[in-house]
Structure 1
């Protein structure tokens, strides 16, 4: 059941990243409905995985990612770009922590998925910083970052699904 919960959490997180990528936070839009919904799903998915995993590094990584999403959500509701930027950087830090178990277990696919999420979150943070400090439209960067993160999350979910299916059949 725990492995199944981890897979469910991974797919919730992946769905959230895709929804967020449809209309990422730093793209000009009044409602930000997709960004809000996507980040809520990401936070829930990460929290579900953190709850289910026994690996301490994975547990901490997922908790940190969930906290990052909460920062982004708060920033979206308060229209505070600094919170959104910090949230993306916190998510990237959580993804960086998730690289540790992937490296220890020599799981190249998990590494790829987590690495892409780190890169995507970092690109999104950079887009927010550019918009704040240089007063330029960096929405293309935000879109690239959001889709990079989404691709990484889907790779991670597929990998966890494959691992769960393989272990269930043994």
Structure 2
């Protein structure tokens, strides 16, 4: 996700706040039972200036920042500040100099393992990302990594694809 954040920042030509959704089912105390049918997702956000993202270790800085944000779930608990989430999201979107990129989904949801009697899905798409601009994260169909889904205008997507495929994974300078 850190590399995606760096590439998206390059395409956007502005600072971007990243908001990550996290599967919090096992992070509650006590945790939800294994038989719980549903999801429990919480969000966290963080920001870095573009200069930091494009520095010599930009991807490393992005990954470390995201990692610290996720670690805060363990330290603070997934519900810390829940009473202010709507206000925080509104302020982040409306009153910020940063553009927002968010994620939806989680590889832990195992969407390719779901079978409601019709067999397992061949392809899973989250269509709401077309409206929200979120990056969808899920486990890959073959179980060997993750899938990222994102929609943008054609020129933005072409520039993003060039950056994502053609640059070093440690720097985008």
Please identify which structure carries the higher helix content: 1
Please identify which structure carries the higher strand content: 2
Which has the higher relative contact order, 1 or 2, with Cα contacts under 8 A spaced 6 or more apart? 2
TM-score by length of structure 1 reads 0.28
TM-score by length of structure 2 reads 0.28
- From the CA coordinates, give the structure whose radius of gyration is larger: 2
